DNA sequence: CTAATTCATTAGGCGCGCCTAAATATGGCG
DNA sequence: CGCCATATTTAGGCGCGCCTAATGAATTAG
């Protein structure tokens, strides 16, 4: 075995880098900076550089990386990232539907388990759940072939006009926030009348509740909406 | 923080050492040698010594260790080992009962996942399964408080007299072996007539099958039996 | 009771993923 | 255009869990 051989480590850490790049590069697949990765992953920027160099120079590179110019997923990297994302969202759905987890707690557990389940496990829970298309936060579950439909929703904070909307999805990043949203009846599928939106204060009405609802900016930022079909 | 502080790492590797010590020390809790641990874990003996020293000298030691005299679990170590064993066996039961895994495949998956599930996950699957006492191999599942009833079964290979018995449990260590046993109808609970046992050849009759069954030593070694109540 | 054999430990090293501190690009502004 | 602030990379180190080679302890055989 030649000494300079780099094996393609698919470790938990590698998975997390790939997921972060996928999330940060957005739908237009823009290059992602080291700093933003470092922020998101909670590691030092130097650690990011290190890892990116490793990922880029392996036999089957998972990223395309140029010094000082950010990073992008390679085809293989994207495949793996979507596989892990699929694991994550299937597990979330499973915890919610089958094991009766409260919505706020599915993310943390899925975040750990997504790296360790087998293909068989993935397939079995997908069957059990009837091949769901969305997780309980309203996020789309990538198909086995890695295809994902385009997002048509927008962040509530991007909204300019008033009107009636449907909650498309809620962020899974912050359990506390999520619980507060749920307490206000804001869960995927809920109907929402946006009455007005002065800066940093969102006045809403939800179905069945007469009183107006004020949402702070951080709460609103965790909600994506689409037009009431 | 004093520099010599050793944190009590509860990593996957530590868990595996604790499980191995639990298994090898047997019901009489005998001291376990470095070599037997090295064999079981598939690592070099030197690595074992290293780890044992670390485990023994942490703030809350997980093992009692004396140079050249082997190792034993401390109370804390035993607690953790039983917790992981409980995880393992609950997961196996879950995979078998809820996700319809074939019996031979539950072990490998459980072996990975046991280290990463939360207390909540453990509790939820236990509830879902109705707090089972045995896993699908026939092994007893430790209770939450770490209590385990004594084994009353004996290895088929230890048997001296003929007679009718019930299969208590089958080993989960070797998937191939397990599949061959299942093909012969030897699963926990099955009735077994032991007709004769010349060295290294076990002649059996199973319920419903008229033809005699010959088991090689390696197969027989994977079966534990008890008297047909 | 000594010698040989077997078992266990020490010593030193490696890859991984992280860190800090120091050096170096890049891009915007005066 | 050159300078500065910020972003990024390089250099050097650390703990973990593993390795091999060499040393040392325990046990068994003669």
The answer to whether the C-beta of A70 is closer than 7 A to strand D is yes
B112 touches chain A (CB under 8 A): yes
B39 touches chain A (CB under 8 A): no
pLDDT for position A158: 83
> CA-to-CA distance for B62 and B84, rounded, in angstroms?
14
Asked if the Cβ–Cβ distance from B117 to A113 is below 8 Å, we say: yes
> CA-to-CA distance for A114 and A15, rounded, in angstroms?
9
pLDDT for position A9: 67
- Overall average pLDDT of the A26-55 stretch: 95
Asked if the Cβ–Cβ distance from A116 to B121 is below 8 Å, we say: no
Nearest CB to A99 within list B95, B99, B125: B125
Q: Which of A19-28, A138-147, B138-147 has the highest mean pLDDT?
A: A19-28
Q: A147, A135, A131, A149: which is closest to A95 by C-alpha? A: A135
Angstroms from A58 CA to nearest CA on chain B: 26
Kindly give, in sequence order, each residue whose CB lies less than 8 Å from that of residue B26, ignoring residues fewer than 6 positions away. Answer: none
Model pLDDT for residues A64-99, shown as the tens digit of each residue:
999 999 999 999 999 999 999 999 999 999 999 999
Asked if the Cβ–Cβ distance from B120 to A101 is below 8 Å, we say: yes
What does the DSSP assignment read for A146-187?
---PPP--EEGGG--S-EEEEEEEE-SS-HHHHHHHHHTT--
CB atoms within 10 A of CB B166: 16
Q: Which residue of A has its CA nearest to B100?
A: A124
pLDDT tier at B90, thresholds 50, 70, 90:
very high
| Residue of higher predicted confidence among A10 and B224 | B224
Out of A71-80, B14-23, B210-219, pick the least confident: B210-219
- Dihedral, CA atoms, A185, A191, A193, A194, nearest 10 degrees? 70
> CA-to-CA distance for A137 and A186, rounded, in angstroms?
11
Asked if the Cβ–Cβ distance from B118 to A124 is below 8 Å, we say: no
The answer to whether the C-beta of B14 is closer than 7 A to strand D is yes
Angstroms from B50 CA to nearest CA on chain A: 24
Which residues of chain B make contact with A117, given a CB cutoff of 8 A? 109, 113
pLDDT for position B84: 96
Nearest CB to A109 within list B98, B112, B118: B118
The answer to whether the C-beta of B34 is closer than 7 A to strand C is yes
pLDDT tier at A144, thresholds 50, 70, 90:
confident
* Structural domains of chain A, ranges and CATH numbers in brackets: 12-73 (1.10.10.10), 154-227 (2.30.30.90)
Asked if the Cβ–Cβ distance from A109 to B128 is below 8 Å, we say: no
Q: A135, A149, A147, A146: which is closest to A189 by C-alpha? A: A135
CA–C1' nearest nucleotide, residue B12: D17
Kindly give, in sequence order, each residue whose CB lies less than 8 Å from that of residue B24, ignoring residues fewer than 6 positions away. Answer: B32, B36, B37, B40
Asked if the Cβ–Cβ distance from A116 to B118 is below 8 Å, we say: no
With a cut of 80, say whether residue A2 has pLDDT above it: no
- Overall average pLDDT of the B193-208 stretch: 76
Alpha carbon B67 to chain centroid, angstroms = 27
Out of A175-179, B85-89, B134-138, B196-200, pick the least confident: B196-200
Asked if the Cβ–Cβ distance from B101 to A112 is below 8 Å, we say: no
Tell me the longest C-alpha to C-alpha distance in chain B: 72
- Overall average pLDDT of the A16-39 stretch: 95
Q: Which of residues 91-110 of A touch B (CB under 8 A)?
A: 95, 98-101, 105, 108-109
- Number of A/B CB contacts below 8 angstroms equals 43
Separation in Å: D30 C1' and B197 CA: 39
Alpha carbon A129 to chain centroid, angstroms = 20
pLDDT for position B9: 67
Which residues of chain A make contact with B116, given a CB cutoff of 8 A? 112-113, 116
The answer to whether the C-beta of A54 is closer than 7 A to strand D is no
Which residues of chain B make contact with A120, given a CB cutoff of 8 A? 101, 105, 109
With a cut of 70, say whether residue A122 has pLDDT above it: yes
- The encoded tokens of residue A160 equal 């300019």
Q: Which residue of A has its CA nearest to B95?
A: A121
- SS3 readout for B2-41: CCCCCCCCCCHHHHHHHHHHHHHHCCCCCCECHHHHHHHH
Model pLDDT for residues B56-87, shown as the tens digit of each residue:
999 899 999 999 999 999 999 999 999 999 99
Model pLDDT for residues B38-56, shown as the tens digit of each residue:
999 999 999 999 999 999 9
The answer to whether the C-beta of A54 is closer than 7 A to strand C is yes
**Do A228 and A166 contact (CB within 8 A), yes or no?**
yes
- Overall average pLDDT of the B90-95 stretch: 98
pLDDT for position A204: 77
- Overall average pLDDT of the B150-176 stretch: 88
The answer to whether the C-beta of B45 is closer than 7 A to strand C is yes
Q: Which of residues 122-161 of A touch B (CB under 8 A)?
A: 124-125, 128
> CA-to-CA distance for A137 and A106, rounded, in angstroms?
10
């Amino acid at each position: 075995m030649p000494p300079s051989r780099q094996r393609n480590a698919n470790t938990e850490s590698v998975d997390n880098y790939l997921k972060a790049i996928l999330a940060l590069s957005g739908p237009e697949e823009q290059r992602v900076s080291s700093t933003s990765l470092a922020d998101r992953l909670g590691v030092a920027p130097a650690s990011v550089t290190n890892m990116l160099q490793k990922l880029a120079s392996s036999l089957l590179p998972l990223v395309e990386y140029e010094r000082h110019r950010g990073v992008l997923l390679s085809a293989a990297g994207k495949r793996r990232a979507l596989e892990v994302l699929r694991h994550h969202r299937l597990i979330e759905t499973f915890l919610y539907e089958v094991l009766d987890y409260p919505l706020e707690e599915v993310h943390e557990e899925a975040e750990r388990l997504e790296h360790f389940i087998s293909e068989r496990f993935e397939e079995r829970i997908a069957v059990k759940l009837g091949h769901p298309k969305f997780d309980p936060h309203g996020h789309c579950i990538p198909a086995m072939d890695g295809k994902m439909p385009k997002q048509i929703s927008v962040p509530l904070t991007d909204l300019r006009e008033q009107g009636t909307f449907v909650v498309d999805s809620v962020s899974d990043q912050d359990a506390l926030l999520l619980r507060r949203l749920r307490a206000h009846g804001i869960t995927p599928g809920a109907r929402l009348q946006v009455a007005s939106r002065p800066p940093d204060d969102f006045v809403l009405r939800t179905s069945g509740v007469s009183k107006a609802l004020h949402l702070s900016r951080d709460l609103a930022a965790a909600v994506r909406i689409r037009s009431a079909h």
